[in-house]
Amino acid sequence: MTRLPKELKLNYRSICDQKQRFHRLIGFAAVLAVGCGFASNAMADDAKTIAATVCMACHGEDGNSAIPMFPKIAGLQESYIVKQLRDFQTGRRKSDIMAPVVAALKQEDMVPLAVYYSSLKLKPGTEGDKKAAAFGKMVFFEGNEESGVPACVGCHLPGGVGYQIYPKIGGQHTTYVAQQLKNFASGERSNDVSRFMRVVAKRMTEEEIQSVAEYLVGLDSK
């Protein structure tokens, strides 16, 4: 398992504390009152600093990771990003890589990071094998009646653009998507509300998983 390089273990609080000390010095009581967190420009700057010094190493400069195992996080819903960060921190979603990254992150730091990444555009990749992608498209829109796989489109919407608790999956890396589906199927990933994805993925064949992933990567989910 990949270990987190030492230089990435940034102390998030130190950035926040420095900002607070600065505001205290210049008498910004109002900023202190809301704490180091919500809706302040300072916090948005801090989020960008964290993104550029920590997250970028794996998720890319603009949230479009170049590494197929690491998810693109640009353009994902704010609420989804916050939920995932919280789930990694509490261990509800297991990842040896993300756990140490979020260990020192406060909940109020998560929101500006989510706002920032959500504002970026997820760039699609290139559809994989054409035949597989065509089959994947069928799975996406129709599911598999025989085995009880529901159509993905019902929750993730056309283009895989996502909606409320249903994340954007259009344009996401094939390798990452296939791995997450396998993780849901085995129960390794179990942070889905109402077991939605565990139920879906468990019913999918290896071919359905790979094909739907090859279809999704080519979608421009904006």
User: Given the rule CB under 6 A, which residues bind ligand HEC?
Assistant: 4, 8, 50, 54-55, 57-59, 70-71, 73, 76, 81, 83-85, 95, 97-98, 101, 113, 139, 149-150, 152, 154-156, 165-167, 169, 177, 180-181, 191-193, 196-197, 200, 212
Closer of 8 and 115 to ligand HEC (Cβ): 8
Closer of 42 and 149 to ligand HEC (Cβ): 149
Amino acid type, 171: G
CB of 123 to ligand HEC, least distance (A): 14
CB 108 within 8 A of CB 36: yes
CB 152 within 8 A of CB 168: no
Closer of 154 and 158 to ligand HEC (Cβ): 154
**Residues 157, 159, 189, 104: is their CA dihedral positive or negative?**
negative
Closer of 42 and 169 to ligand HEC (Cβ): 169
CA gap 125, 172 in Å, rounded: 7
CB of 29 to ligand HEC, least distance (A): 29
CB of 142 to ligand HEC, least distance (A): 10
Can you name the residues that pair with 149 across neighbouring β-strands?
Answer: 144
Can you name the residues that pair with 163 across neighbouring β-strands?
Answer: 166
Query: How big is the chain, counted in residues?
Result: 222
Closer of 31 and 152 to ligand HEC (Cβ): 152
CB of 157 to ligand HEC, least distance (A): 10
Residue 112, Ramachandran bin (φ over 0: left; ψ between -120 and 50: alpha; else beta): alpha
Name the residue with tokens 């989910």.
221
